[in-house]
Structure 1
Amino acid sequence: MSNDVIISKLARLQASCKPRVLDLFAGCGGISLGFEAAGFEMRGAVEFDPDAARSHGLNFHGGAEAHSQPIDITKTSPADLCRQLDLGNVADAFDIVVGGPPCQAFARVGRSKLREIEEHPEAFIHDPRAQLYKKYLEYVDAFQPLAVLMENVPDILNHGGQNIAEETCEVLEAKGYVCGYTLLNAAFYGVPQMRERMFLIAYRRELGAKVSFPSPSHWLVLPPGYEGTRSVALKSLRNLADQAHSYIAPPVATPDLPPAVTAADALDDLPAINARKLLAEGKISRGARRFDNAVSYSRRKPSSYAELMRTWHGHEASKAGLTDHVIRYLPRDYELFARMNPGDQYPEAYAHAMEMFEERLAIANAQGKNVSEGSPEHKALKDSIVPPYDASKFPNKWRKMWRDQPARTLMAHLGKDGYSHIHYDSTQARTISVREAARLQSFPDGFRFSGTMNPAFKQIGNAVPPLMAKALATHMMNTIKQAVTQKDMADEPRRAATAVS
């Protein structure tokens, strides 16, 4: 790595220039939005999914064609990227690289192979998933960033018996970085969602910075049995204690902090959508949901969180209203959603549905219809009320939210059905809308999603919550500024002595 490049980048920061960021595996831009809000310059992104790439270009580059095209990192070199985005010299294009390869890329990639990935690339010819990790390292090598941020699921601490976060730190340390990783829950950082993720930060040794993580801003007692909570992830880490040299314990949230932002804080100011009423009036039907019609906010006073979502600098809400407050067409289930209690999952939903079926069956028989068991009429009635899944095999497939807690983790699977997040308001009796999913993920109301409803849900579920990213980015900005200032002060006597001589 050229020392001149690092010196040049440090000089830019000493001159108070904004650090320039490249977002790899960027999605629609959750990390990008957090870094932009913390004062970084979003200079480029790499994203393979066409809808997500268009969303990123739309929100960060005004829809510029070059920044809105999908990019396959396995077929695009750093030099290719710089030419496509007109960024000039590769080594001087970026100061920060953020993002994280999908965890599937690490399957069957051993520690020794990770270390030797550049020296022996032919070892990976038969495992294309490893190419994503190889490309990530290639981009870090080419762009020579002063800092790196990676994000991934907690399971990466024990991925097939490997601690991939630790192994990544080993690779980066060999390239001249100091590195550390931890587990952070988004609910502790103002996001109305209990989302546990691994975050890894690395700084060039020349900065003289130490790796640390932001202090929580909110307090929450995580519910027992919540899959993916810190306790579960840390248990895996303890089982691999000999592979956790770079692990840093997460900053502790304390009860004196403000309570976590709840689902109601996030959603109550949005206009109600009464699914059963819409269905009865023929105003909702099967088909793609496009974002054509704007609706106004409700008259409820917004919470401080909702106000932030409306007024986020650079992504303020449109005066025309919300155009993506749209829901799924699920006519069989609206009555069932209304009957479910907050916290109910699929077994409870199935039991409610069977009760509803028995009630309807009794009414039909009382009317003299004689719907006997095993008859086509019996089957048709049951199918119109009861979901077909085995309650013993799909316990977590459905969940009705609590209004007074943060939501559970939003997943990309929202793009397929949305049953994991049934609205807490039984009057509305539906799954959450696109804009409600965005609110729970902390995307501001002015952030636009390319494509129709399903791609938008997928983009939101895949994203890093922007407020979580902002907390990390702000902490990294302060760390970098402090390191640059101290370095500048340390260099001053040397410059003065040189001037005198």
Structure 2
Amino acid sequence: MIIDADNRAAKLQRVRSGEKPRVLELCSGCGGLSLGFAAAGFNLQAHVECDPIAAKSYALNFEPPEGVSSDKWSAPRDMVEQTADDVVDDLGLATPAAASFDVLAAGLPCQAFARIGRSKLRSLKGDVDAFRNDPRARLYKRFLQYVEAVQPVAIVIENVPDILNFGGHNVPEEICATLEEAGYNTGYTLLNAAFYGVPQIRERLFLIALDQSLGIRPSFPEPTCKAELPSGYEGARTVALKHVPSEGSRFTPIPQASAMAAGAVSTKEAIADLPYISEHFRDPAAMRRRKVGDELAYRSYVDLSEYARRMREWPGFEAGESVTGNVVRLTPRDFPIFRRMPAGADYPQALKIAEEIFAERLLLELSPPPHGSKPWDDLRGQCVPPYDGGKFPNKWWKLDPALPSRTLTAHIGKDTYSHIHWDSKQQRTISVREAARLQSFPDGFQFAGAMNAAFRQIGNAVPPLLAMAVAERLRNDLMATRTEKGVGPTPPDSMAA
């Protein structure tokens, strides 16, 4: 890989003179990572996103650089089909790719790396190794080609922890080794969004690389909150870390919250002030007519938490007296189940409740149908979901108002049963705006497309508050001097969880 030391030196001088670092983001989605970088004082110079709806959302929320048309700014692009110079030419930027950007960032698609995604690929393609052949699993190699073309002084990659075990291969170690040959100091670690003010237990890998001329190793933000990780997350973390080499690793110890850190933001603190929604069972036709962009007033009688105030008042994304995104799924069979589920309940408990509801319905029948008959099956189907409780224990989950939410994924674009509102009076899954709040998108952030597309964009995104913490630390590192931080490989005994 070519190293253009003079170019990188000029970029560092530019940044250290006070100019905002210019960012090119690949696989930008709707802009969660970009929002964090913008809040930390970076300049969003260009982005690449192949999903046209997500690309439109990005353009709705971020102004194009001077001289770039809104049509070009909102257009979808494919990082495989277009080179860095193609992107620059298409946008009409004044300088070539190697001179246009200081930072290269990407939240690379995680479906081929995530264990849940691997299982789906196996079932769809009938191939146990389908995840290895998924083109998305090779995008990191394409990303490295962008590194050579752009010659950034800093690099940020976000992905799921399972990328540490891609069929036994630690992909971040490979990326780091390649980047070190290209003149970068590298490091990676696991960060959980709940430790950075996001009301969601969301574990992600972050890899950062800095030009070696800085003379420092990358660092990661210190947690501002403390939270107890559920056993499933602790287990996944342990499995991922097993694939970190015992010697010569680029892994950085996971930052630990201090004993004095504030508690994690709860789901109640996050969304209790958002509009009360009941049209889905009172007037389904009204819910069908409602659009993602339609506004409803906030709940004025609810105490406003510090987190909610921050989401309402995010600079550049301030909300007024009302907010968009108040659409929910119409699943009438399950509303009575939602109402009876206790906070924190999962699918096996929901299934038990559904069977109780079915038994009650049978008692109301003047002539109960015979067990196993078609009328009996039909009535049961009106009350009881069809999924096996043993195979899908985590398919449903009712939010606990006192705790952070579980991880939001792109699958909420298809169903939101993993996030049922704790308020039994509302008997529903979360709305688009509630999902956005749990991901730390401010209330003024808008989503293009209909409900399913909005949910998918939110689930795919990097939480903006976590992105901002990473970006703030990165900017500090870019301004640091050789005497401020040590250089050298991570010692083998530093692999503390």
Distance across 2 between alignment mates of 1:403 and 1:40: 35
Cα 1:316/1:388, change in 2 over 3 Å? same
Q: Give the CA deviation at 1:289.
A: 5.4
**Could you say what secondary structure the match of 1:57 adopts?**
helix
- Note closer, same or farther for the CA distance 1:455–1:312 as it changes in structure 2 (3 Å cut): same
Identity, % of aligned positions: 48
Given that 1:166 and 1:244 are in contact with CA atoms closer than 8 Å, whether structure 2 keeps it comes out as no
8 Å CA contact 1:315–1:447 kept in 2: the answer is yes
- Which AA in structure 1 matches 2:200? Q
- Cα distance in 1 between the residues matched to 2:54 and 2:331: 26
Q: Does the C-alpha gap of structure 1 residues 320 and 254 become closer, same or farther in structure 2, counting only changes over 3 Å?
A: closer
Look up the match of 1:36.
Answer: 38
Residue 44 to residue 337, structure 1, CA distance change in 2 (3 Å): same
> 2:315 corresponds to which residue?
313
Residue in 2 that maps onto 1:180: 187
Counterpart secondary structure, 2:324: coil
Quote how far apart the aligned CAs of 1:240 are. Answer: 4.4
Give distance in 2, aligned partners of 1:149 and 1:425. 39
CA distance in 2, matches of 1:352, 1:483: 61
Aligned-residue offset at 1:237: 1.9
**Alpha-carbon spacing, 1:130–1:280, altered in 2? closer, same or farther (3 Å):** closer
Pair 1:207–1:288, CA change in 2 (3 A): farther
Name which of 48, 51, 67 aligns with 2:50.
48
Q: Which amino acid aligns with 2:16?
A: Q
CA-based RMSD of the aligned residues comes to 2.1
**Per-residue deviation at 1:377?**
2.5
Choose the corresponding residue for 1:79, options 78, 85, 110.
85
Counterpart of 2:29 in structure 1 is 27
Asked if the contact 1:106–1:133 (Cα under 8 Å) also holds between the matched residues in 2, the reply is: no
Answer yes or no: is the 8 Å Cα contact 2:193–2:203 preserved in 1: yes
Report the alpha carbon displacement of residue 326 of structure 1 after superposing the two structures with TM. Answer: 1.0
Match of 1:248 among 236, 249, 252: 252
Q: CA deviation at 1:251?
A: 1.3
1:137 maps onto 2:144 in alignment:
yes
Q: Determine helix, strand or coil for the equivalent of 1:333.
A: helix
The one-character-per-residue Cα deviations of 1:162-190 (angstroms, maximum 9, x if unpaired) are 11111111111111100000011100000
Tell whether 2:360 aligns with 1:362: no
- Tell me the secondary structure at the aligned position of residue 256 of structure 1: coil
Query: Which one of the candidate residues 222, 232, 255 is aligned to 2:236?
Result: 232
C-alpha distance in 2 between matches for 1:485 and 1:385: 67
Shift of 1:253: 1.1
Partners in 2 of 1:83 and 1:288 — Cα distance? 42
Q: Deviations over 1:35-59 (max 9, x none)?
A: 0000000111010111111111111
Distance in structure 2 (CA, Å) of the matches to 1:412 and 1:395 = 19
Inter-CA distance 152–409: structure 2 relative to 1 (3 Å threshold): same
Do the aligned residues in 2 keep the contact of 1:105 with 1:133 (CA within 8 Å)?
no
- Does 2:449 match 1:447? no
Aligned position for 1:159: 166
1:258 lines up with 2:259 in the alignment: no
Q: Which runs of 5+ in 1 are unaligned?
A: 108-125, 488-501
Q: Equivalent residue for 1:116?
A: none
- Look up the match of 1:212: 219
Relative to structure 1, is the Cα distance of residues 371 and 244 closer, same or farther in structure 2, using a 3 angstrom cutoff? farther
Question: What code does the residue aligned with 1:30 have?
Answer: G
Matches within 5 A, 1:113-152: 128-129=135-136, 131-152=138-159
What is the aligned residue count?
Answer: 459
SS of 2:262's partner is: coil
User: For residue 380 of structure 2, what is the aligned residue in structure 1?
Assistant: 382
Relative distance call for 1:105 and 1:343 in structure 2 (3 A) is: closer
The one-letter code matched in structure 1 to 2:411 is H
Which amino acid counterpart does residue 234 of structure 1 have in structure 2? T
Aligned residue number for residue 295 of structure 1: 296
The question of whether the paired residues in 2 share the 8 Å contact of 1:13 and 1:484 is answered with no
- Cα distance in 2, alignment partners of residues 298 and 244 from structure 1: 54
Q: Is the 8 A contact 1:345 1:395 kept in 2?
A: yes
1:222-250 Cα shifts (integer Å, max 9, x gaps): 22x22xx2453234323543476100111
Q: Given residue 159 of structure 2, which amino acid in structure 1 is its aligned partner? A: N
Q: TM-score normalized by structure 2? A: 0.88
> What corresponds to 1:70 in structure 2?
76
For the pair shown, the structure with the greater C-alpha radius of gyration is 1
Change in Cα spacing, 1:391 to 1:93, as seen in structure 2 (3 Å) is same
Match of 1:397 in 2: 395
Are 1:267 and 2:249 matched, yes or no?
no
Whole-angstrom CA distance in 2 between matches of 1:267 and 1:106: 31
Secondary structure of the structure 2 residue equivalent to 1:483: coil
**How far apart in 2 are the matches of 1:149 and 1:93?**
17
Cα distance in 1 for partners of 2:314, 2:273 equals 16
Please report how far the alpha carbon of residue 292 of structure 1 lies from its aligned counterpart in structure 2 after TM superposition.
4.3
Partner of 1:349: 350
CA drift at 1:102: 2.3
Q: CA deviation at 1:301?
A: 2.6
